[in-house]
């Protein structure tokens, strides 16, 4: 089954003049303000390729010509492969894909208890992701508190690979973890060369706002780029705290940070599939709280999508996350409004769009299901209205004529399942039927559907013999079935 293609790009929050203004100001920042990179090998590489470097300040000043040249070396698009039919996606252009992310510390489980996330939750979220039709890729959405930090990389990413055939991505916690998961993925692919030709795993390494890259993350970027695997260099400026309070000022800084990730990656290995990576947020200046569900965050994500299109780079965005603590009305309107803006703008790799509450601090099973419906509405919007001789329905109108109805028309049967979108958690029955069925709200219906999907049996995504081979080589891998038994509804041992 071929993966459906949805394209955006019709919504423009910025004019062409404003795009050029942001670009020109960004170039001034990179040339004159500079970027702090606390990693000598990276500084030496920049200097060798034509940048001015101040080794006392660990600061790089990138000239205009170098910025332009290195951006052009990055791929305009790349295929992020699934390991099952119909699950590969093309990232770039104006194609729109939604997925998970967030690395939440807590989980809101199906008993409505908020608790620390565990490794079983990572596996469960991957299983849900594999079964949700509007979700295209899986970024590790929770940080497990029940395993040693030195084994988080291989355990979270391996559980993801075990439980979904969709493209997988995750952050990096240490160099050894990165090397181990590349080796594991190479075993699954058949070799490192086969993995590099058809990558199904990618990585995230963060840039710190404002305008700073740590030694560890510089190393991670260099390592992933040398492998030539998909990479996001996530940067999250907060307007009013770690970026100017004006949205335009935050966009300039965000653009400089996102472009630095692209530039650095292309210095290491030209052609590496790197995402123009942006996570702009705002602050509540009354409480000093970071806000991920604000409409201003949605506007900035739409704007940076335009900037990525201007540079012909695939983009990584963050929308759909809500600051609400529960799957309530606030969660729905914040998720829907920001997701729709990014979709209409043509965002390519839109992460954290599933299940994230409380500013991405909590991952909710029920919210995964609700967000799947919200994203379905976004994708239906992108499909638009198909106009052709058959959909204009002249023959059907002529047959029915004045005073008739279309319920028994073959034309109705032919189109009723594809023309009209049906969210699974929305209540559309008459009021009394809803009462008779238990008066369930969308949160309850989402919980029931999540439980149903998690109970479904499926064939192993990684063959048992390959799984055994990997476990023989990597003793730190946890076997959730053998090592301990967990109630997936509550996380209790």
419-460 pLDDT, tens digit per residue, is: 999 999 999 999 999 999 999 999 999 999 999 999 999 899
On whether residue 486 sits in a domain, the answer given is no
Residue 456 lies in a domain: no
Read off the tokens for 333.
């309107």
Co-location of 67 and 84 in the same domain: no
Would residue 493 count as lying in a domain?
A: no
Distances (CA, A) of 350 to 11, 101, 212, 260, 314: 16, 9, 24, 20, 11
Query: Is residue 340, in this structure, part of any structural domain at all?
Result: yes
d(CA 355, CA 339): 13
- With 0-12 / 13-18 / 19 or more C-beta atoms within 10 angstroms meaning exposed / middle / buried, residue 333 is middle
Same domain, yes or no: 59 and 189 = no
- 209 shares a domain with 309: yes
Beta-carbon contacts of 27 under 8 Å, excluding residues fewer than 6 positions away, are 64, 67
Spatial separation of the C-alpha atoms in residues 151 and 129, rounded to whole Å:
23
The ranges of the chain with pLDDT < 70 are: 1, 482-493
Query: How many structural domains is the chain composed of?
Result: 2
Residues 88 and 65 reside in one and the same domain:
no
> pLDDT digit string (tens) for 389-409?
999 999 999 999 999 999 999
Torsion angle in degrees (nearest 10) through CA of 35, 40, 45, 46: 20
> Considering 346, 368, 383, which residue would you say is the last residue of a domain?
383
Phi (first) and psi of residue 192, to 5 degrees: -65, -40
Residue 8 lies in a domain: no
| Cα 296 versus chain centre, distance | 19
b/e string for 229-253 if b means 16 or more Cβ within 10 A?
Answer: bbbbbbbbbbbbbbbbeebebbbbb
pLDDT at position 483:
45
| Residue 156 burial (C-beta neighbours within 10 Å; 0-12, 13-18, 19+) | buried
Residues 45 and 115 in one domain: no
* Whether residue 51 is found in the same domain as residue 88: no
**455 in a domain, yes or no?**
no
Within-domain flag for 427: no
3-class secondary-structure state, position 194: helix
Q: What is the dihedral of CA 179, 355, 6, 386, to 10 degrees?
A: 170
Residue 424's pLDDT is what?
Answer: 93
**Predicted pLDDT of residue 486:** 44
Q: What is the CATH number of the domain that holds 310?
A: 3.20.20.480
pTM (2 d.p.): 0.95
pLDDT for the residue numbered 289: 83
**Pairwise CA distance, residues 493 & 106, whole Å:** 16
The pLDDT assigned to 489 comes to 53
Give the DSSP H or E segment for 98: strand 97-98
Residues 151, 50 share a domain? no
Does residue 351 share a domain with residue 232?
Answer: yes
Segments forming the whole domain that contains residue 255: 75-383
Same domain, 128 and 218: yes
Among candidate residues 332, 356, 383, the one where a domain is terminated: 383
Task: Give yes or no: residues 24 and 126 share one domain.
Answer: no
Q: Are residues 125 and 20 in the same domain?
A: no
* In a shared domain, residues 235 and 203: yes
Measure CA of the first residue to CA of the last residue in the chain; give whole Å.
Answer: 39
Classify each residue of 385-411 as buried b or exposed e, where b means 16 or more C-beta atoms within 10 Å of its C-beta.
eeeeeeeebeebeeebeeeeeeeebeb
Give all strands (DSSP E) within 182-332, no chain letters: 201-204, 212-213, 231-232, 238-239, 274-277, 281-284, 289-291, 315-318
Nearest by Cα to 334 from 381, 298, 378, 283: 298
Residue 400 in domain? no
Alpha carbons 198 and 179: distance in angstroms, whole number? 18
């Amino acid at each position: 089954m071929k993966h459906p293609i949805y394209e955006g790009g019709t919504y423009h929050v910025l004019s062409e003049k404003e795009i050029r203004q942001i670009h020109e100001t960004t170039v001034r920042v990179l040339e004159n303000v500079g970027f702090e990179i606390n990693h000598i090998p990276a500084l030496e590489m920049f200097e060798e390729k034509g940048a001015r470097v101040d080794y006392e300040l660990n600061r790089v000043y990138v000239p205009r010509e170098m910025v332009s040249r290195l951006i052009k070396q990055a791929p305009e698009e790349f295929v992020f492969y699934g390991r099952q039919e119909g699950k590969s996606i093309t990232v770039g252009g104006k194609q729109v894909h939604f997925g998970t992310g967030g690395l939440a510390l807590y989980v809101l489980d199906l008993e409505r208890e908020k608790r620390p996330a565990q490794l079983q939750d990572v596996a469960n979220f991957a299983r849900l992701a594999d079964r949700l039709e509007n979700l295209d890729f899986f970024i590790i959405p929770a940080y497990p508190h029940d395993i040693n930090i030195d084994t988080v990389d291989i355990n979270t990413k391996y559980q993801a690979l075990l439980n979904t055939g969709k493209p997988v991505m995750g952050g990096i916690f240490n160099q050894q973890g990165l090397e181990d998961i590349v080796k594991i993925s190479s075993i699954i692919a058949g070799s490192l060369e086969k993995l590099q030709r058809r990558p199904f795993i990618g990585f995230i390494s963060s840039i710190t706002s404002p305008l700073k890259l740590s030694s560890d993350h510089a190393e991670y970027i260099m390592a992933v780029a040398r492998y030539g695997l998909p990479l996001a260099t996530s940067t999250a400026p907060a307007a009013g705290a770690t970026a100017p309070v004006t949205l335009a000022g935050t966009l300039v800084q965000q653009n400089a940070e996102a472009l630095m990730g692209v530039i650095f990656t292309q210095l290491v290995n030209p052609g590496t599939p790197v995402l123009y990576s942006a996570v702009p947020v705002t602050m509540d200046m009354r409480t000093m709280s970071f806000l991920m569900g604000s409409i201003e965050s949605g506007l900035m994500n739409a704007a940076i999508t335009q900037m990525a299109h201007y540079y012909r780079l695939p983009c990584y965005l963050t929308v759909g996350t809500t600051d609400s603590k529960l799957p309530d009305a606030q969660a729905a309107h914040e998720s829907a409004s920001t997701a729709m803006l990014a979709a209409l703008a043509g965002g390519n790799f839109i992460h954290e769009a599933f299940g994230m509450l409380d500013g991405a601090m909590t991952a909710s099973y029920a919210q995964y299901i609700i967000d799947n419906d919200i994203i379905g509405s976004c994708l239906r919007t992108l499909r638009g209205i198909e106009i052709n001789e058959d959909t204009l329905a002249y023959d059907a109108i002529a047959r029915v004529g004045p005073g008739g109805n279309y319920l028994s028309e073959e034309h109705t049967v032919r189109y009723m399942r594809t023309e009209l979108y049906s969210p699974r958690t929305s209540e559309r029955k008459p009021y009394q039927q809803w009462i008779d069925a238990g008066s369930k709200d969308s949160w309850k219906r989402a919980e029931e559907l999540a439980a149903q999907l998690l109970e479904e049996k499926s064939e192993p995504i990684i063959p048992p013999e390959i799984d055994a081979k990997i476990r023989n080589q990597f003793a730190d891998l946890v076997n959730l079935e053998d090592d301990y038994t967990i109630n997936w509804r509550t996380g209790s041992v």
